[in-house]
Amino acid sequence: MGMSPSSRSQFIAEMRHVFKLALPITFVQLSYHSIGFVDTVLAGRSDPLTLGAVGLGNIIFFSVAVFGIGLMLGMDAIVARAMGTGDHARAMGMAAQSFYLGIFAGIGTTVFLLLVMALFPLFGVVPELIPGTRVYIASRLVGIIPMFWSVSLRSYLQGREITTPVIHAAIAVNVFNFVADWVLLFGDEGLREWGLPGIGLQGMGPAGLGWASSASSIFLAAWLLHGTVRHAPREHLSLRWQPKLLRELWWQGLPVGIQLCGEVSFFALMGLMVSHMGVMEAGAHAAAANVGGLSFALAVGAGSAGAIRVGNAMGRGRLDLARAAGVSAMLLGCSAMFVVAIFMWVMPHRVAGWIVADPQVIKLTAHLLIISGFFQVFDGMQGVLAGVLRGMGQTKAALVRYICGLWGVGFPLAWLFGIVLDGGAMGVWLGITAGLVAAAVLLCQRFLLLTQKSH
């Protein structure tokens, strides 16, 4: 049966809302990716040891910090649901509790990372990389709590569908980070390249990039705090401790944090599996994964927009609007990922050539990109649905289905195709694709089941 005229107009209106919200969120997501990209590029201009230390430090830092980021991400949907009921006090109360949750998450992350750094020799880290990696991570820890605060403040503003200060902050922090990276990494030498006089500053190597990242986190948190105070109702501005709201925020964000950790662990394990197949396979896998990671920002933007619009509809008790918003977000995310997939199918060798130079690695990377093109749509679908279910408060259900798809289907099939059947890197990627398809199907089934009452 087709939609009635009123349902069709409702769906079109919701599609416009999702699209209008997804565009700025996607831009912000891509801008945050660019910060890490700039760090890596500038480290590569320095020396191989700095590049290696910063690369390893980044992987370790985010593999641990991603749990705290997930805790903070649970807030956008809570704020959206509160705004759906017109409860500004609850929305602002959640933002206040995220201040305390960010402190707790920052302390826990710091302790864990200090323990990991102490155990570097036991993990088989190359001895030459240990000092630089340690000093990079240690200097980044100074900004860990502001980094978590910036995620929560961004979630609060986006949950209220206020995106202008978030966009301005993303642009400003990219400029700030580049300048800080350049000056602290290269010192007076870098200043002279810009035609400026030296100030007696020595290049700080990995520590300089770490301090620049911490300073950027503090800068970003301060900018977003100003935007939050400016747009929040004055009568609700308070940092009052509210244990009930803090517990709710914790339980909403906990599954998201675990899910992100599971995702990082899964792809790290896939990389480890491929690395045992040879240098060329490892390089091709890393190159293809970088392309997929960048394009996934499109799905994250659509998923965040879906979480906010679905959360708002749930707050108003409108399952029909929640379904329309969820389907709109899925269509938008999948369409964007399909466009990316077309590029991977039509010109895989050219895309691979943008990242790597070795002809043999380009050839294998191109083959992996063709496979990646097939899972792009499903990767986008599961990414959007994770956000949509977050908007419905279904973070635990999303976590269970994500684990079943990636770890229950993807991991064993990657092992089977890649190792047992000797399919190499392509076999591993076929397994990854199967896992993402399974996760997308399971998440979609849950969403449709929850919203079927509206029909």
Q: Is residue 345 part of a domain?
A: yes
Where among 241, 275, 292 does a domain terminate? 241
Instruction: Give the pLDDT of residue 411.
Output: 93
**How does residue 149 score in pLDDT terms, banded at 50, 70 and 90?**
very high
Q: Do 263 and 412 fall within a single domain?
A: yes
Q: Do 309 and 405 fall within a single domain?
A: yes
Q: Do 237 and 263 fall within a single domain?
A: no
Q: Do 292 and 161 fall within a single domain?
A: no
Q: Is residue 203 part of a domain?
A: yes
CA distance 61 to 116: 10
Instruction: Give the pLDDT of residue 4.
Output: 62
Q: Is residue 247 part of a domain?
A: no
Query: Which residues form the domain of 81?
Result: 22-241
Total tally of structural domains belonging to the chain? 2
Summarize pLDDT for 362-375 with one digit per residue, the tens. 888 888 888 888 87
Instruction: Give the pLDDT of residue 355.
Output: 66
Q: Is residue 267 part of a domain?
A: yes
Q: Do 231 and 352 fall within a single domain?
A: no
**How does residue 145 score in pLDDT terms, banded at 50, 70 and 90?**
very high
Where among 195, 213, 241 does a domain terminate? 241
Q: Is residue 14 part of a domain?
A: no
Q: Do 84 and 118 fall within a single domain?
A: yes
**How does residue 437 score in pLDDT terms, banded at 50, 70 and 90?**
very high
Instruction: Give the pLDDT of residue 454.
Output: 44
- Strongest mean pLDDT among 3-17, 23-37, 208-222, 282-296: 208-222
**How does residue 1 score in pLDDT terms, banded at 50, 70 and 90?**
very low
Q: Do 355 and 436 fall within a single domain?
A: yes
Q: Is residue 395 part of a domain?
A: yes
- pTM equals 0.83
How many CA atoms, within 13 angstroms, populate the side-chain half-sphere of residue 173?
30
Q: Is residue 58 part of a domain?
A: yes
Instruction: Give the pLDDT of residue 103.
Output: 96
Percent of the chain with pLDDT over 70: 95
Q: Do 214 and 278 fall within a single domain?
A: no
Contact (CB, 8 A) for 427 and 418:
yes
**How does residue 5 score in pLDDT terms, banded at 50, 70 and 90?**
low
Q: Do 232 and 260 fall within a single domain?
A: no
Q: Do 40 and 184 fall within a single domain?
A: yes
Q: Is residue 16 part of a domain?
A: no
Summarize pLDDT for 341-363 with one digit per residue, the tens. 898 899 888 888 876 667 887 88
Answer whether residue 126 shows pLDDT above 80: no
**Which among 158, 454, 97, 136 has a CA at the least distance from the CA of 306?**
158
Q: Do 396 and 428 fall within a single domain?
A: yes
Instruction: Give the pLDDT of residue 263.
Output: 85
Average pLDDT, the chain: 85
Q: Do 212 and 265 fall within a single domain?
A: no
Where among 197, 219, 241 does a domain terminate? 241
